[in-house]
Amino acid sequence: MRERFWEAPLASLSNDEWEALCDGCGRCCLHKLQDEDDDAVFFTDIACHLFDPEQCRCRDYPNRLKQVPDCLSIRAQEDEIYDWLPPTCAYRLRYQDRPLPVWHPLISGRADSVHEAGISVRHRTVSEADVDEEDYEDHIILWIKPQLPL
């Protein structure tokens, strides 16, 4: 991978660089709800059934798109997808031409820095298998703020 590849435009990243940009927070694996009136996006603490709450990673990342019909490949989507990503997400930040935060593993040099900074969802989720869809609104979380200090 190129030195400081994360500063390059997203479209120029190789597949390996793209994957390395992920900070491992797990927030993208949470179910989101969108308000029909104003299109506001709300995160829940409900994680996809493939989500590993200890590792903050998908248990079957290579096959996730086949196993989870509403899972998205961010790279293959239109620009609007970035609005659905957490405000701390490296893909969203770089799409907005913003720098990575100091806790990002590519900056800190440590994979655990995302967990230490309280950004990850490690141990803070419930599985979608344990929640009825009509109860999703009861799981809207407030610990993902619209704007977090970076």
pLDDT means per 10 residues, the chain with 150 residues, are 95 95 95 90 94 94 93 82 88 95 96 94 95 96 57
Closest CA to 139 of 2, 46, 19, 10: 46
The distance of Cα 95 from the centroid of its chain, to the nearest Å, equals 14
pLDDT computed for residue 57 by the predictor: 93
Q: Residue 148 has what pLDDT?
A: 43
Task: Please count the other Cβ atoms lying within 10 Å of the Cβ belonging to residue 94.
Answer: 19
Region class of 144: left (phi > 0), else alpha (psi between -120 and 50), else beta: beta
Measured CA to CA in angstroms, residue 122 lies from 24, 51, 98 at distances of 10, 10, 25
pLDDT of residue 10: 94
Per the domain annotation, does 148 fall within a domain?
no
Is 98 a member of any domain? yes
For residue 147, being part of any structural domain is answered with no
- Confirm whether 104 is domain-assigned: yes
Residue 50 belongs to a domain: yes
Residue 44 belongs to what domain range? Answer: 5-139
Q: Does residue 63 lie within any of the structural domains?
A: yes
Residue 134 burial by Cβ neighbours in a 10 Å radius (0-12, 13-18, 19+): exposed
> What pLDDT score does 116 carry?
93
At residue 73, the pLDDT reads 87
Pick from 144, 137, 133: nearest CA to 49: 133
Tokens 């940009």 belong to 21
For residue 55, tell me if it sits in a domain.
yes
Q: Give bridge partners of residue 32 from the DSSP assignment.
A: 43
Q: Domains in the chain: how many in total?
A: 1
What is the per-residue pLDDT for 79? 83
Q: What pLDDT was estimated at residue 144?
A: 60
Query: Would residue 146 count as lying in a domain?
Result: no
Cα–Cα distance for residue pair 87/93, rounded to 1 Å: 7
